[in-house]
Structure 1
Amino acid sequence: MTVASVSMPQELLDRIDEFADEHGYTGRSEVLREGARNLLGEFEDKQLEDRQLIGVITVLFDFETTNAEQRMMNLRHEYEGLVKSNFHNHVGDHQCMELFVLEGSLEEISAFVGKVRATKGTTTVDYSVTPVDASDAVV
């Protein structure tokens, strides 16, 4: 197996080690491999391809120590055709929550989520996607 060197904050590495111990992984490499497989597979659902989707993305970030808030605003403008709604809220003493509602293709939503995840200072990024035509079904 090929070895890859990855830089990360000590706090994150400690959390990975603790997670590995608590969940029976053989070590941090196994945790990172599984995490990478899950991340890469998130948008590979063949049932979502070639369909119009609605996506809801929730982002938490520390507004005191990063420029993540400015980056979220820039992404909102960069993807103005994709972003249908945006909500910003303060959470706790120094956290912000940004909620985006998107409408577009799997490829477009995936690109947006990737840029949000790559933003330095985000603490969590959570999302869900639903095909627009799923709401057309009458039960």
Structure 2
Amino acid sequence: MQRVTVTLDDDLMDELDALIAIRGYQNRSEAIRDLARAGLKQAAQETGSDQNCVGVLSYVYNHAARDLAKRLTSTFHTHHDLTIASLHVHLDAESCLEVGILKGPMGVVQHFADHVISERCVRHGSLHLVPTTELAPANSAFPHSHEH
């Protein structure tokens, strides 16, 4: 681990200390590490990075919309190599929530999520990306060298 000295103005330090209190960090170093990770993740997303990632795509849609469920299913089947798992929840008489766990190159996962979220009658959608260093091929059965 590297030790770094950073100079911050008083207003920025006050904001950082407020964040530390709200989120319950044990110390400033933990907060700054999390902020650095978030900034690096955002920068990778903005540059269309080919870095591998795991993504959580969640969206709410009107299941009665003409052919929407069929189009969404077809989109996921066409990109089966990105999908690890999915969850479908009936929220009410009209709305469904779907959550898909995806993995692959960040730019590819982002493009796929953008396509799903932009479908007509998809009401709300978001993608949360977590950069990873190594990934086994999607949907592969690989031996784990550690316990979960």
Q: Tell me if TM exceeds 0.5.
A: yes
Helix, strand or coil at the partner of 1:93: coil
Q: Report whether the alignment pairs 1:102 with 2:83.
A: no
Q: C-alpha distance in 1, partners of 2:127/2:116?
A: 11
Gapped regions of structure 1 (runs ≥ 5): 1-40, 135-139
Contact 1:66–1:120 (CA<8 Å) still a contact in 2? no
Gapped regions of structure 2 (runs ≥ 5): 1-42, 135-148
Q: C-alpha distance in 1, partners of 2:67/2:89?
A: 16
Q: C-alpha distance in 1, partners of 2:50/2:64?
A: 40
Q: TM-score, normalised by structure 2?
A: 0.56
1:1-139 aligned at under 5 Å gives the runs 43-44=45-46, 46=47, 49-133=49-133
Contact 1:67–1:121 (CA<8 Å) still a contact in 2? no
User: 1:118 offset after TM fit, Å?
Assistant: 2.2
Name the larger-Rg structure: 2
Helix, strand or coil at the partner of 1:125: strand
Q: TM-score, normalised by structure 1?
A: 0.59
Q: What one-letter code is carried by the residue in structure 1 that aligns with 2:45?
A: F
Helix, strand or coil at the partner of 1:43: helix
Helix, strand or coil at the partner of 2:55: strand
1:18-62 alpha-carbon deviations (Å, 9 max, x no partner): xxxxxxxxxxxxxxxxxxxxxxx9931x5x823210000001001
Q: Compute the RMSD of aligned alpha carbons.
A: 2.2
